[in-house]
Amino acid sequence: MAAEVRPRLTVLSGPSGVGKSTVVAHMRKVHPEVWLSVSATTRKPRPGERDGVQYFFVSDDEFDKLVANGELLEWAEFAGNRYGTPRQAVLDRLRAGEPVLLEIDLQGARQVKESLPDSRLVFLAPPSWEELVRRLTGRGTESAEVIERRLEAAKVELAAESEFDTTLVNTSVEDVARELLALVAVA
């Protein structure tokens, strides 16, 4: 008799600008059955974003209540806004036997591993430091000060790679999305 395969939480993390959102979006376009947790945030919606789709947009007071009530699996502050993963939705999906994917920062990945030790942490690395700098500066949407802050944070995040179970190098969105899907789908 085969051993019971239990779905596991897979956490994708890596430095800002490495392409986490792009990889996840590509994977979910091809495999929409992969459930991606929707984070709560105190950030204001950007044009085209809808509550409950990209994020759950909440006030500072609402976010404080989520934290105080232990309703977030992890949370972090970034660029003056707070982001967090609602705990119950993740646990419900895992109990239902569905694989769950979180796309979060290093601080959040550490919190999840502490809370759910059998989570699989996947580090998305850039092909090189130069490529990461090119991606962050090439966006053209942020000030030099914000880019500098992101690059400083990226150095810290890159240094934490050894804390992760698996590293994927983002040389090709299609290839990395396929590799990530294999990790998410296999418990």
pLDDT in tens, 102-114: 999 898 999 999 9
Is 126 known as a binding-site position? Answer: no
**15 annotated to a ligand binding site:** yes
Is 20 annotated among the ligand-binding residues? yes
Q: What is the pLDDT of residues 6-45, one digit of tens each?
A: 567 999 999 988 999 899 999 988 888 888 889 999 999 8
Does 21 show up as a binding residue in the annotation? yes
Q: Are 41 and 81 in contact (CB under 8 A)?
A: yes
Per the CB < 8 A criterion, the answer to whether 41 and 56 are in contact is yes
Give how far Cα 15 sits from Cα of 79, 111, 137, 144, Å.
14, 17, 14, 17
- d(C-alpha 88, C-alpha 101), whole Å: 14
Output the CA torsion sign for 177, 183, 186, 187.
negative
The C-alpha atoms of residue 29 and residue 125 are separated, in whole angstroms, by 22
